[in-house]
Amino acid sequence: EKLGIALVGLGYYSTDLLAPALQLTENCELKGIVTGSPEKIPVWQEKYGIKDKNIYNYENFDSIANNEDIDVIYVVLPPSMHKEYTLRAANTGKHVWCEKPMAPTVADCEAMINACKSNGVKLAIGYRCQHDPNIQAYMKVAKERPFGKVKMITSAAGYFDGRTDHWKQKKSLGGGAMGDMGVYALQGARLATGEEPISVLAQASTTRPEIYHEVEETMMFQLEFPSGALASCQTSFGIQMNHLQVNYEKGWLKMEPHSAYIGNKGSMSDGTIINYAINNQQAKQMDEDALAIIRNQEMPVPGEEGLRDIRVVEAIYKSAGQNCMVKL
C-alpha cells in the first residue's frame, strides 16, 4: 500500500518536479492538493485524477486530519510559510515533509521539530541531494578519509534569476540567495567535512539594487570547521555556478554540477569517477522518505538536518550585517 501525499502550494517545484516524480514513485503517490488558486484545481484533477474530497484550500487545510487517503503533507510554499504549515500539518496527525530552506530562523525550525515530536509524526526536509548517490560518494570520502584530512573546500551554487517581483526577492517571504541556493553551497561544505562549522565570515552584495534591496543577490561566506578545514562558499541569483572542490592533505575531489536535479558528477585525484546513474532524484527522495515512514525508521534527512543549516545561515546573516566574524 502506497502512502498518500498531499502537496501544499502548487508553484514551480510542485508542478514541474514533485508531481511528475510522484508518478514514478513506488512507496507513495499523489493523492491530494492544497491550493489558494482555484483555477489550478481542474488542471491538476485532469492530469492526476485527484478526487474532489482530497482538494483543500488554506482555510480548510486543517480538516485533512479526517482524510484517510492522506498520510503525508508536503509543504512546498515560500520559506516564511513553512513553519505555520508544518505546525498545522503536524497537528492533523499526518507526517510532514517540508521544502528547504527549512525556515527563516532557528527558533522556527525548533518549533517545527517540536510540533512534529509532540504529535508523534515524522518530519523530513526536501534535501533531494542527500538521496543522490553522487553526493553520497563525497559524504563517504568524509567518513573513510582515503586522502587524509579535509583541508580546503570551495563550494558554489547559483543561477541567474530574471524575475523582479517574486518571493525570492522579498524578505518577509523568506527570500534571498542564501536560503535558496546558498544552502547547497553550505551543504557541500558540511557534507564534505562531515562536521559543523565553528565560525563564519560573510559578505552580502548586489549588482541589481533595483531588484535586490530587501535581500542579497549574492552572498560569499567562509567557514571554519573543528578539524581546521576551511571553506570558501558563494551563492547568487545573478551568477550561474554549481561546483564543489575538496582538497585533502593528499588528494582532491571535484564535482560539477554538485547540486543539480540530474547529472551530478565528479572525479577524485586517484582516478575515481563519480557518475552514478539516477532515474529521478525527487522520486528517490520521496520513496526513501516514504519507506522510512512505512518501516517506522529515522528519516534520512530529518528536521534536525534542516536546523543545522539554518543555524549557520543565521550566523552568516549576522556576520554580513555586522561585518565581523561570528563564532558558532
Q: Point out which residues pair with 124 in neighbouring strands.
A: 97, 302
- From the CB of 6, what's the least distance to ligand NAD, in Å? 14
Closest among 311, 78, 52, 71 to 183, alpha carbons compared: 311
Sign of CA dihedral 76, 311, 156, 276: negative
Number of Cβ atoms within 10 Å of the Cβ of 62: 13
**Cβ-based nearer residue to ligand NAD, 48 or 252:** 48
| 22-50 exposure pattern, b = at least 16 Cβ within 10 A, e = fewer | beebebbbbbbbbbeeeebbeebeeebeb
- From the CB of 98, what's the least distance to ligand NAD, in Å? 8
Compute the radius of gyration of the chain from its Cα atoms: 20
- From the CB of 146, what's the least distance to ligand NAD, in Å? 30
Give me the helix-helix angle, 106-118 and 82-91, nearest 10°: 10
Give me the helix-helix angle, 183-193 and 303-322, nearest 10°: 110
**Cβ-based nearer residue to ligand NAD, 104 or 266:** 104
Task: State the residues that interact with ligand NAD by CB under 6 A.
Answer: 9-13, 36-37, 76-79, 99-100, 126, 128, 167, 173, 180
Instruction: Give catalytic status of residue 184 as yes or no.
Output: yes
**Cβ-based nearer residue to ligand NAD, 76 or 307:** 76
Parallel, antiparallel or unpaired: strands 150-160 and 230-236 = parallel
Pairwise CA distance, residues 191 & 248, whole Å = 14
**Cβ-based nearer residue to ligand NAD, 127 or 138:** 127
- Closest-approach residue to ligand NAD (CB): 11
Closest among 110, 65, 112, 66 to 92, alpha carbons compared: 65
Look at residue 229 and give its three-state secondary structure.
coil
**CA dist 172 → 50, 82, 214 (Å):** 32, 13, 9
Burial-class residue 105 by CB neighbours within 10 Å (0-12, 13-18, 19+). Answer: middle
**Cβ-based nearer residue to ligand NAD, 94 or 128:** 128
**Cβ-based nearer residue to ligand NAD, 76 or 153:** 76
- From the CB of 167, what's the least distance to ligand NAD, in Å? 5
Residue among 184, 212, 248, 317 flagged as catalytic:
184
Residue among 31, 100, 122, 254 flagged as catalytic:
100
**Cβ-based nearer residue to ligand NAD, 79 or 247:** 79
Q: Order of strands across the sheet with 55-56?
A: 55-56, 28-34, 3-8, 72-75, 95-98, 123-125
- From the CB of 216, what's the least distance to ligand NAD, in Å? 15
- From the CB of 128, what's the least distance to ligand NAD, in Å? 5
State which H helix or E strand residue 98 sits in.
strand 95-98
- From the CB of 118, what's the least distance to ligand NAD, in Å? 24
Q: What residues are labeled active site? A: 100, 184
